[in-house]
Structure 1
Amino acid sequence: MSEELSGGHTPPHGVKFQHIQNRLQIARWRIDTTVYLLSEGVFSMNKLLFFIMLVVAVTGCSSRKDFYATGGSRADGSIDMAYDFKQFETPIVDINQAKKIANDKCAVWGYERAEAFGGKIVSCEARNGFGDCVAGQTIIKYQCIGNITPSNQAIVSKLPAAMLTPAQYKEMRVKALMDQNLPYSEYQKKYQAIMAE
C-alpha cells in the first residue's frame, strides 16, 4: 500500500474502504437533510449556501501531497524529505515517492540507497489569531546506506592531509568511519566527536 494517512500509519485495504463508505454515508445524510429543510422552507438560498460552505470548511478534505527534499548532508549521508499541509486537510502521501527521491539524491552522492530512520517531525509554519496551526510541514529523515563509490572518493583521499581544507578533512574522516562498519551507537559517538572538532 503506497498511501499513508495523516496518523502516520498505512491502513489495511478494508479499513480504507470502510473510511470512504463512512464519508459517503455522512455526505448522503447531509444532502438528504438539506433537501428536507429546503422543501419545508426552513432554509433560504443564502442560508443553504452558507450551510454548504460551513460543512465543507469543517469537514476538511483529503489532498495528495508530494514530497520534496528540504535538506541534507553528503558528509552525514542524510536527506530530509518533506511535504506541506494546511488546516483542515487530510494529507495523502506516497512514501515510495519520498524513498525514490531520497535514493536518487544518495546515488548522486555515491551511496547505494536510502532508508527512512527515526520518526517524522511535524512543525507549524503559520498560526491564526487563536493559536491554531493553519500551515505546517512534515519532515521524514532518510539515511544514505552503503559506502561511497571509490570514484567519488579518489579525488579527496589522494591529497595529503596538509592540503585539505577543514571541511574536506572532516569529510575524509567521516568516510573512513563509515567504512569501519561499526554498530550504530559507536558510529554516532565517533561521528559526533569528528563534527565537534
Structure 2
Amino acid sequence: MFRPLAALFFLSLAGCTITKNPEVTGGNQMMGLVQLGFDVPALQRARIDDYLALSTATKQCQNWGYDRAVRYGDPIYTCSVISGTQCLNESVTLNYQCQGVALPATQPVY
C-alpha cells in the first residue's frame, strides 16, 4: 500500500514547474559578456520570465557602460549535485552579449 502512494507522490512532484529569477553569476566586462544562472532541484522543471532575465542582464551591461543586452546561444545545463546516477540539482547558465555604448546623461545648461 505504501509503495504505490509513494510512487504517486514522487510522480506528482515531477510535474511541478517552478518560476526562477536568474541572477548574475559571471561575465567579462571587457568582452561585454554577462552570465545569468539559477538552480533547478531534482524532479522539478523551471521556467524563467524572459523579460526579467533580459532586464537583469541589461542592468549589468549598463553598469559596465553598454546600452543593452541580447541573449545568445542555448542555455548550458550542468549537474551540480550527483548521488549515484541521479542528478539532484542542475545549474542553468544563460549567456548575454552587451551591445551599444551608453551615452551619459546630459546636464541641463544654465
Q: TM bucket by the smaller chain?
A: 0.7 to 0.9
Structure 1: 4+ residue segments shifted above 4 A:
148-151
Larger radius of gyration: 1
Structure 1 unaligned residues grouped into runs of 5+: 1-46, 152-197
- For each residue in 1:149-195, what CA deviation from the matched residue of structure 2 results, as whole angstroms up to 9, or x when unmatched? 479xxxxxxxxxxxxxxxxxxxxxxxxxxxxxxxxxxxxxxxxxxxx
SS at match of 1:146: strand
Compute the RMSD of aligned alpha carbons.
1.9
The one-letter code sitting in structure 2 at the alignment partner of 1:135 is N
Which one of the candidate residues 18, 28, 32 is aligned to 1:77? 32
SS at match of 1:107: helix
TM-score normalised to structure 1 length? 0.48
- For each residue in 1:11-62, what CA deviation from the matched residue of structure 2 results, as whole angstroms up to 9, or x when unmatched? xxxxxxxxxxxxxxxxxxxxxxxxxxxxxxxxxxxx36x5433212124121
Which one of the candidate residues 127, 138, 162 is aligned to 2:92? 138
Indicate how the Cα distance of structure 1 residues 65 and 52 shifts in structure 2: closer, same or farther if over 3 A, else same.
farther
Matched, 1:128 2:76: no
Q: Distance in 2 between matches of 1:81 and 1:68?
A: 5
Q: Is the 8 A contact 1:66 1:93 kept in 2?
A: yes
Task: Give the match for residue 48 of structure 2.
Answer: 93
Higher relative contact order (CA 8 A, sep 6+): 2
Which one of the candidate residues 10, 23, 34 is aligned to 1:57? 10
Structure 2 unaligned residues grouped into runs of 5+: 106-110
Percent of paired sites with the same residue: 25
The number of aligned residues is 103
Q: Report the alpha carbon displacement of residue 128 of structure 1 after superposing the two structures with TM.
A: 1.2
